[in-house]
A = this chain, B = another copy of it.
Amino acid sequence: MYVLVTYDVQTASPQGAKRLRRVAKICVQYGQRVQNSVFECSLDPAQFEKMKSELEKVADLSKDSLRYYNLGKNWKRKVEHVGAKETYDPEGFLCV
């Protein structure tokens, strides 16, 4: 499954800035950062559940917001990007 993770972490306090770093660090382990607080992750259901539980342990759910969008199989046809920050196709051809 291809999942989009978006988040808003309230960074008004030092704890918030720390939470932001930790949330981003977890997302980087599971997927590709396409914008500051937007990640695209190619996951199986177990990985998805594990990522969510890690994120929800770190975030302060009274202040922070986490959104997960399951883009389904044909995600490539559903995504358009314009502007800076090119991204790579995680399922594409890798020339080594």
Residues of A whose CB lies within 8 Å of any CB of B are 4, 6-8, 10, 34-38, 52, 56, 59-72, 77-85
Contacts and interface: CB of A to CB of B under 8 A. Distances in A.
Given A35-B37, A64-B84, 10 more contacts: A8-B35, A10-B84, A35-B65, A65-B83, A66-B81, A67-B79, A69-B69, A69-B71, A71-B71, A71-B78
Count identical subunits in the complex: 2
Nearest to A6: B38
Nearest to A59: B83
Most buried by B among A4, A37, A81, A84: A84
What 5 pairs across the A-B complex have the smallest Cβ distances? A61-B83, A65-B85, A8-B35, A68-B80, A70-B78
B83 A64 contact: yes
Most buried by B among A69, A72, A83: A83
Contact of A38 (B38, B59, B71): B38
